[in-house]
């Protein structure tokens, strides 16, 4: 099974698991706003995929050229922090959009 298909099935499963409680409420008493919940999930998934791809590429390049491992490691930490910062901003936007 391809990796894309695994991620797609995981995303659909998470979507269904999160929407069942929201759809079980009576009309007008919804406690979960689907758009902000779905957006927060996408932000977290995107940040996780971004950092995992960054790490994989950095480790591969460190294995090929061990003499520049310190430079690559420093750059990797900076970029990972930038990805996490964007993820936190996205989560804040999703949380504020809920109110």
3-state class (DSSP) for residue 86: helix
* pLDDT tens-digit readout, 24-77: 555 555 555 567 777 788 888 888 888 889 899 999 999 999 899 889 889 889
Domain range annotation of the chain: 48-99
The pTM assigned to this predicted structure is 0.59
């Amino acid at each position: 099974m391809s990796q894309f298909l695994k991620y797609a099935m995981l995303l659909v499963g998470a979507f269904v698991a999160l929407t069942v409680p929201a759809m079980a409420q009576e009309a007008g008493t919804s406690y979960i706003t689907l758009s902000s919940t779905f957006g927060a999930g996408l932000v977290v998934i995107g940040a996780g995929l971004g950092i995992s791809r960054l790490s994989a590429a950095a480790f591969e390049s460190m294995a090929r050229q061990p003499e520049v491992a310190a430079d690559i490691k420093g750059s990797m930490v900076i970029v990972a922090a930038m990805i996490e910062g964007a993820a936190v901003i996205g989560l804040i936007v999703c949380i504020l959009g809920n109110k």
